[in-house]
Structure formats: C-alpha cells, structure tokens
Chain A
Amino acid sequence: MEEVIWERLRDANIPVLPMIRASTAAKAVDAANVLGYPVVMKILSPDISHKSDVGGVVLSLGSDGEVEAAYHTMMERVISMVSNARIKGVVLQKMAQPGLEVIVGAKRDPQFGHVIMFGLGGIFVEICRDVSFRVTPVDREMARQMILEIKGSPILGGARGRTAVDMEKIIDVITGLSLLLDKYPEILELDINPLVVYPDGAYAVDARMLSH
C-alpha cells in the first residue's frame, strides 16, 4: 500500500520527497547516503497505518551510526507492539525543509462520490476543523476557491511577515488529486498529510490511502 500510493501521487504529478526502501540496517545506511543527511526513517508494513503510534517513525537522523541504531530500535519496538504485522523493512526519506504544512485529502461519499478536502495541517485540521470541501471534479478555479475559503487562508498569503507560499503548487496538487480519483474510483480515503509548501514548490511528505 505504502508503495502504491507514492506511485499514484507521482503519476498525478504531485511532487513527493525522494525516498528509498531498505530491508537491512546496512542498506538503510547506503540509502541515507544516497539521499543525503538528515533523513527520516519510517517502518514499511502493509498492516500498520498509524506508523508513529507504534514507534515506526524517526526524524532527523544525521549520521550512519544514527541510521543503523534507529533501524534496530525500530524493528524491536514495532515487533514488540504489533507482533503479527508483516514488516517489509523501512523507507528512508530526505528530511523535509521546514515549510507550511497543509493537508489535501479525499474521501468517497456514498451519495456524492469523491470529495476533496483542503486545510492547514497540524492543530488547524485536528482542533479547529478549518477545512473546505468540493465534490470532484475540481478544476483550478474551484481549487483556488477551496484554499481561499478556509479561515486560515491569510496565513498562506504571507500574514504577519511570513513569506507567501506557492499557492499555484497547492492548486496543482488538488487538481492532480482530482484526476487521480477519477482514474481510480476504488479509492475510499486518501490523505496527503502533510503537504509541505514553500515559497516556491511543495512536497508530499506523508500520505495514506484506503482502497476497496
């Protein structure tokens, strides 16, 4: 599943952070060197959807030694917490530069079919529920309206001395997701969370997908 979603996102021209999978500690170290430090390590298992809840995510690994140690610790922790999970190794990702975190998601509604959600990430989506929705297909103008519609939208435009983020890139992601949903009606739920947005560009840093 983990693999499939990244492939789908890349197909939809949604930019994703470079990542390499590894099934041993040594291969993880090699991968980290190819990507360049610092890196993030995530458990790779079709049975675990909330990776961080089971110790399956480690951020800011800065050296070969740290990667090797993290690999062993992660395997032990995950296996002790979810003993029956199939573990396929880990995924190493280049650590994302700090940027503005937003969420772009989708759900298939029983009456209306696919809907797309947009919101600011982190506490904004979890606590304030400051999100907007559109039934697909969503074109660029509708995507722009979705972004402007949330209460926190001035933050994207560079409120309080922040630099404005790349709104066109978010629109690309929303419309790309709309096309992707069109192509794969079996998708039930999908979150790109976070999509980290910069003044120039954006990256899907994590994503989850549930299909029929």
Chain B
Amino acid sequence: MTLKSIFEPDSIAVVGASASPGKWGNSIVKNLLDSGFKGEVYPVNPREQEILGRTCYSSVLDIPGPVDLAVIAVPISLVFEVTDECGKKGIKGIIMITAGFSETGDEGRQLEKRLIEIIERYGMRLIGPNTLGVVNSKIGMNASIISRLPNPGGISFITQSGTLGLALADWTMEMGLGLNIVVSTGNKANIDDVDLLEYLDEDSNTNVIAMYVEGVNRGREFMNVAKRISKPILAVKAGRTESGSKAVFSHTGSLAGSDEVYSAAFKQAGIIRVENIDDLFDSALALSVQPAPRGKRVGIISNGGGASIIASDACERMGLDIPELQLETRERIKELVSGFASARNPVDTAGLAGYDVYNGIVRQMLLDPNIDAMIVIYVHTVMWDASISARAIVDIHRGTCSKPIIACWMGGAGTEKGVNILKEGGLPNYPVPERAVKALASLVKHHGFLENVKERV
C-alpha cells in the first residue's frame, strides 16, 4: 500500500498534543505549524480546549473533516485505544512517537504485537513505534520533534537512530545540504527499510537516499529492492567492529560477523557503504548535485603544491587514478600559466588563482579525454580573492559539463564568499582534500554499480 498518507498527507491529527511548551506533544504541533505545512493540523487531547491557537479535539473521532495521518505521542497505556480510534476514523497513516515497545524487551514485544494487530485490522501503515517522526521539507511538513526544518533539497535520509535525526537539521544547514524526506524508522514494526526504499525510489523529489542502519529485517528483499533502484543509495552501518559468533564451530562462522555480511550484501545490492556520518553526508552532497563520472581518472588542479599532493595520495588510497594529460592539453595549459607551473596532472598553478587561470585550465582538463572527473583545490592566501576563483569554476560548471567537479576551498576565514558562490553554483565543496576525494570516490562507486550491479528496468 502507498505511504502517501504518511509522507504527503493533506491533514494531520496530533494525538497527545499538549499546551505545555517543552512537551513532545507540544513540540510536534508547534513544528507542524511553524514549518509551513499547508494542510489541516488537528491537536487531540481530551483535557485541552485549544493548543497554539488551534481547536483541540478530545478524540480523533470528533474531528469534523477527514484525517490522513495521525502523529501519536500519548503514554503507552493509551496507545491501543487511540490507535483503534484512528482506525475507526479512517486514518491511513500513523507515526507512533510513543516508546516502550520491543526496544525494551519481551513485555514490550508483546505490546508491539498488539499494536500491529490494530494497525493491520484497519489496513493502516505505521512508522515506529519509538520514532522521532517524519519530515518532508518539500511540503513543509515537520511531523517530528526535530526543532528546525532542514533546507529543502534532493537528499532523503532514513535513520534508525532517533537522536541522529535530531542532530541532523543543524548539521545539514551548516554543510549547506538540502534534505527532502527525513524519516526516523524507530522499531520498524510495520514500515521497514524495504518499504521506505520503494517509496523514495518513486518519490520524484528524492535523488539520493542516505541511510543510517543498525540492522535490516528482510535482508533478501532489501537487497532486491536496492538493486532495482538506480538513485544512489549510501549507508552507514553501525556496529562495524562487531565480531562474528563466539562459538568456534567453523572458521567461516567465526569470521562472518554481521558486519562482513552487511558489507557483502550492500556491495551486491549496489549500496555505497561509507564509514561514518561525515562521509555519508559528504558523499550524499556530491551525489545530489553532480553527475556520476564515466570512469575513475581524476584531474586535480591547485594553486599550492601540498594540497594537490594530499589529494593525489588520497585518490590512490581510494583506488582512483591520476592519469597523464594529453600533450595537447598540457600545451594549452602552459599557455595559460607561468613557466614555473607544472602542466602535469596534478596541475600546480604555482600560486596563481586568477579567473582566467582557473577557468582556462579546468576547461582544458575537462575537455581532455583522459579525464573523467575534476577536483579543484584553492588554498586561500591574502593575495587572492577566494570568490574570483570560485566564480571561475562555477561559470564552467554552468556550461554543458557532463563530468563531475568537486571543489576544495581551503583556508577557512576569508574563503566564505567563495564557498557561497560554489554552493549556489551547485558545486559540492569540502574544506580538506581527503573529504573531497572520498566524496568523488562515492560518485565513481555509484557509476560502477550502475554499470555492473543495478538491474536495468
């Protein structure tokens, strides 16, 4: 069944809404009202008349109009009654914020089973329980306890850790990352990763799927769905250091810990596994704004020798090649820079970072058939204006460039203007070369998956 009632509702009831600031039942109503959601928001709480200027209903059954989605944040003892009422009301989607279910042990597992029976009886779909909610920035819906809505963008994020979702909004704003849907999966008692991947694949506003995974429930289905999705899927799998089973029956048994198995499964399903959250969003950013390169041959330019050597080393470590430029390209570059500069890849402009130098060289390198992708590094010095070199690259990028460009404006203070120009121009920028290279490596990996793993539809 469709998950539209959850991600694209026209009307939302907040069951367990509260008039007291600081309570979750209050934050959710406030977040929905503040985020610019155009549909109806109905607070529900039998003890309140009005919450944040909205009429409060004592039960969802009292709400006059139809309701698509209910966000439930009541004490666990009331969960079953209010969920049943949602079913009676004809509500199709539930976001269950309330915790205390299978995550707490056997007793909680029984409660979760009871909850799912109600959900299934009415043919509803449920996120959670024990979730922090759902955000859809495209329609301005913040049905979560995340206090700030992230900037709209093409990256959708599925997180099994609620707190990670909370930290996210601020983080992404700092990085200039645009998010589309954020979903905290909670216990995945009804809607799990398989359902979410299917939904996000069809969602035209999502172009990159980022996941924080602790474990998936239906391994084979998960792999099959991921294989059919051509949008990049990135995942951090928590518990990387977990070792295999303790009992030593066989070598395979002791070596095939869940982590190794996840690595294999992700690779076979065309999911880019990254080490940590930083890498997840660094890569997601590049994948959301840049095309996948045709190959792994990288051109590097820098106005300072050291940075391009670091970038070259990082490329080598990540399995990317730094090829020779064609003779013709080298000659054209020599015409553009002083005799001291190296016209070999990585190209060193020997300190020059003017518009014509950066624009001209990068243009020539992109035209070179030996090059599949560019890393453009600018090391800030007081002699240059970081925004001029940034403009030089963005102007190329605005042209018809099908090869990805990754930027690395180094030097912190003084580069902000340049960094903003890059951001607005759709160029992913990173403050150090290693991060730029890692992000590019994810682009290369995705292209490899498209060629070898993904099923063509």
CB within 8 Å of B: which residues of A? 49, 103, 105-107, 109, 111-113, 115, 117, 119, 125-126, 129, 131-135, 142, 188-191, 193, 208, 210
Q: Which residue of B lies closest to A209 (CB)?
A: B250
Q: What B residues does A142 contact at CB under 8 A?
A: 268
With contacts A105-B253, A111-B219, A117-B255 known, what are 10 further pairs, Cβ within 8 A? A112-B220, A113-B220, A117-B251, A131-B260, A133-B256, A135-B261, A188-B253, A189-B250, A190-B252, A191-B252
How far apart are the CA atoms of A111 and B188 in the complex, in Å?
15
How far apart are the CA atoms of A189 and B158 in the complex, in Å?
33
The distance from the CB of B254 to the nearest CB of chain A, in whole angstroms, is: 9
Question: Is the Cβ of A106 less than 8 Å from the Cβ of B252?
Answer: yes
B123 at the interface (CB under 8 A from A): no
Question: Is the Cβ of B258 less than 8 Å from the Cβ of A105?
Answer: no
How far apart are the CA atoms of A109 and B257 in the complex, in Å?
9
Q: How large is the interface on B (under 10, 10 to 19, 20 to 34, 35 or more residues)?
A: 20 to 34
How far apart are the CA atoms of A26 and B68 in the complex, in Å?
82
B265 at the interface (CB under 8 A from A): yes
B340 at the interface (CB under 8 A from A): no
Give chain B interface residues in 238-283, CB to chain A under 8 Å. Answer: 249-253, 255-256, 258, 260-265, 268
Question: Is the Cβ of B223 less than 8 Å from the Cβ of A112?
Answer: yes
Residue of A49, A109, A188 ringed by the most chain B CB atoms within 10 A:
A109
Of the candidates A111, A113, A135, A193, the one whose C-beta lies within 8 Å of that of B251 is: A193
B2 at the interface (CB under 8 A from A): no
The distance from the CB of A178 to the nearest CB of chain B, in whole angstroms, is: 13
Question: Is the Cβ of B258 less than 8 Å from the Cβ of A109?
Answer: yes
Of the candidates A109, A134, A188, the one whose C-beta lies within 8 Å of that of B268 is: A134
How far apart are the CA atoms of A35 and B138 in the complex, in Å?
75
24 contacts between A and B (CB under 8 A): A49-B249, A103-B252, A105-B251, A105-B253, A105-B256, A111-B258, A111-B265, A112-B261, A112-B265, A113-B219, A117-B252, A125-B255, A131-B260, A132-B264, A133-B261, A133-B263, A133-B264, A134-B268, A142-B268, A188-B253, A189-B252, A189-B253, A191-B251, A210-B249
How far apart are the CA atoms of A188 and B261 in the complex, in Å?
14
Question: Is the Cβ of A126 less than 8 Å from the Cβ of B261?
Answer: no
Q: What A residues does B265 contact at CB under 8 A?
A: 111-112, 135
Q: What B residues does A210 contact at CB under 8 A?
A: 249-250, 253
Q: What A residues does B250 contact at CB under 8 A?
A: 105, 107, 189-191, 193, 208, 210
Per-position 1/0 for B88-112, Cβ under 8 A of A: 0000000000000000000000000
Known contacts A189-B250, A191-B250, A208-B249; decide if A131 and B255 are in contact (CB<8 Å). yes
Residue of A111, A129, A193 ringed by the most chain B CB atoms within 10 A:
A111
Q: Which 9 A-B pairs have the closest CB atoms?
A: A105-B252, A112-B219, A111-B219, A133-B264, A191-B250, A107-B256, A189-B253, A189-B250, A117-B252
How far apart are the CA atoms of A38 and B215 in the complex, in Å?
50
Question: Is the Cβ of B252 less than 8 Å from the Cβ of A135?
Answer: no
Q: What A residues does B309 contact at CB under 8 A?
A: none
Q: What A residues does B256 contact at CB under 8 A?
A: 105, 107, 109, 115, 117, 133
How far apart are the CA atoms of A187 and B264 in the complex, in Å?
20
The distance from the CB of B133 to the nearest CB of chain A, in whole angstroms, is: 26
Question: Is the Cβ of A107 less than 8 Å from the Cβ of B253?
Answer: yes
How far apart are the CA atoms of A79 and B203 in the complex, in Å?
67
Question: Is the Cβ of A109 less than 8 Å from the Cβ of B255?
Answer: no
B432 at the interface (CB under 8 A from A): no
Known contacts A109-B256, A111-B219, A113-B220; decide if A134 and B249 are in contact (CB<8 Å). no
B217 at the interface (CB under 8 A from A): yes
Of the candidates A112, A129, A188, the one whose C-beta lies within 8 Å of that of B255 is: A129
B216 at the interface (CB under 8 A from A): yes
Question: Is the Cβ of A115 less than 8 Å from the Cβ of B264?
Answer: yes
Q: What B residues does A107 contact at CB under 8 A?
A: 250, 252-253, 256
Q: What A residues does B263 contact at CB under 8 A?
A: 133
Residue of B215, B261, B263 ringed by the most chain A CB atoms within 10 A:
B261
Question: Is the Cβ of A103 less than 8 Å from the Cβ of B251?
Answer: yes
Residue of B219, B253, B260, B265 ringed by the most chain A CB atoms within 10 A:
B253
The distance from the CB of B49 to the nearest CB of chain A, in whole angstroms, is: 49
Question: Is the Cβ of A109 less than 8 Å from the Cβ of B261?
Answer: yes
Question: Is the Cβ of A135 less than 8 Å from the Cβ of B223?
Answer: yes
Q: What A residues does B217 contact at CB under 8 A?
A: 111
How far apart are the CA atoms of A142 and B264 in the complex, in Å?
11
Question: Is the Cβ of A115 less than 8 Å from the Cβ of B261?
Answer: yes
The distance from the CB of B222 to the nearest CB of chain A, in whole angstroms, is: 8
